[in-house]
Amino acid sequence: MIKLFACDLDGTLLNWFHATDKVILDAVREIADAGAHVAIATGRTMRTPFDSGFQGAPIELLGSNGSIVRDRKGNVLKTFPIDRQALEDLLRAFPTVCFDCVAPDGTFVTGSREEREAGFKNRRFIRRLIMRGMRGTDSEQDSMHFKQTADQVLAHEVCKINCHVLDPGLNRELAAYLAEHTDTLVDAPFAPTMFEISDRNVNKGAGVAWLAQYLGISEDEVAVYGDGGNDIRMLERFTHAYAPSNASDEAKRAAGNVIGSNVFHAVPKHMLRTLREERSRTVIA
């Protein structure tokens, strides 16, 4: 029986507008009322169940690609921080890059607000909709600190780094640096337009597995859903893994099970159908 449903957001649980709606929120609440759990596994920096349109719905949060795990009230349960030396080396190697350094107590940006916003400009309309979520929710915007020095950043438990590098040469240099430091860092972006850097052992799958253990749920009682590059490890880890039809080919192969499109609410409908069928069999038995 599935007791924990873990879902990516953009392209998976959210609708075509990259937003929640009544169908999604009703599904989350029905699952919670039945005694099961819905965990949001996202690259976004979610700090409370009110972020990203969830209106305080009963969800656990695995934000920043699973590196910060929070309960239904937004309290931090577990962090997977980047090695401090690896973080310092990266910051000092690229002093001109505007890094978003995400920690449980805020996001510490090495550039100005204007430099950060520049990375989100000149994108196609659909891409900008997706990137809007990566810019930070209301609670995230309130906890952003700009023009942070390396020493100021290092004073915090940084779990993930986001950045856009518009200069092609500098972009290649950063990509090459990360390729040479896979012993400490991993880059798992949802799209090739940005970098999403965390500790080499951190991914959504590891975060979901930790949460399941914390909740007393076995891994074969977990169902996961994802559509992109930062979902691969999660989809590969769990037996009950599903990708929507709009997912990347890599995500579909990792999941092994393909359902309908997120445009038609395939994920919340599949979650509810699974819940209802399993509960119905239990009642009959």
Answering whether pTM is above 0.85, one says yes
- Residue 280's pLDDT is 87
Per-residue pLDDT 10s for the chain (285 aa) are 999 999 999 999 999 999 999 999 999 999 999 999 999 999 999 999 999 999 999 999 999 999 999 999 999 999 999 999 999 999 999 999 999 999 999 999 999 999 998 876 655 544 444 545 444 455 666 689 999 999 999 999 999 999 999 899 999 999 999 999 999 999 988 777 789 999 999 999 999 999 999 999 999 999 999 999 999 999 999 999 999 999 999 999 999 999 999 999 999 999 999 999 998 887 655
**Eight-state DSSP code of residue 231:** G
Output the DSSP codes for 168-182: HHHHHHHHHHHHHTT
- E-assigned strands of the chain? 4-7, 37-41, 60-62, 68-70, 76-79, 100-103, 106-109, 144-145, 160-163, 185-187, 195-199, 222-225, 240-244, 258-259
Contacts of 126 (CB under 8 A, 6+ apart): none
Rounded to whole angstroms, the maximal C-alpha distance in the chain is 63
Per CATH, 4-79+203-284 and 84-199 having the same topology is answered no
Distance (Å, whole) CA 109 – CA 99: 6
| Beta bridge partners of residue 254, listed in sequence order | none
Distance (Å, whole) CA 196 – CA 20: 24
CATH superfamily of 4-79+203-284: HAD superfamily/HAD-like (3.40.50.1000)
Note the CATH architecture for domain 84-199: 2-Layer Sandwich (3.30)
Distance (Å, whole) CA 112 – CA 89: 21
Contact 263, 16 (CB under 8 A): yes
- Residue 119's pLDDT is 75
- Residue 279's pLDDT is 87
3-state helix, strand, coil in the chain (%, to 5): 45, 20, 35
- E-assigned strands of 82-166? 100-103, 106-109, 144-145, 160-163
- Residue 131's pLDDT is 47
In the chain, what are the domain boundaries?
A: 4-79+203-284, 84-199
- Residue 281's pLDDT is 81
Element (H, E) at 201: none
HSE (CB half, 13 Å, CA atoms) of 269?
Answer: 10
Give phi and psi for 225, each to the nearest 5.
Answer: -140, 135
Cα–Cα distances in angstroms (integers) from residue 218 to residues 111, 150, 214, 223, 232, in the given order: 43, 40, 10, 11, 20
**Eight-state DSSP code of residue 11:** I
Distance (Å, whole) CA 34 – CA 36: 6
- Residue 19's pLDDT is 96
Distance (Å, whole) CA 227 – CA 262: 10
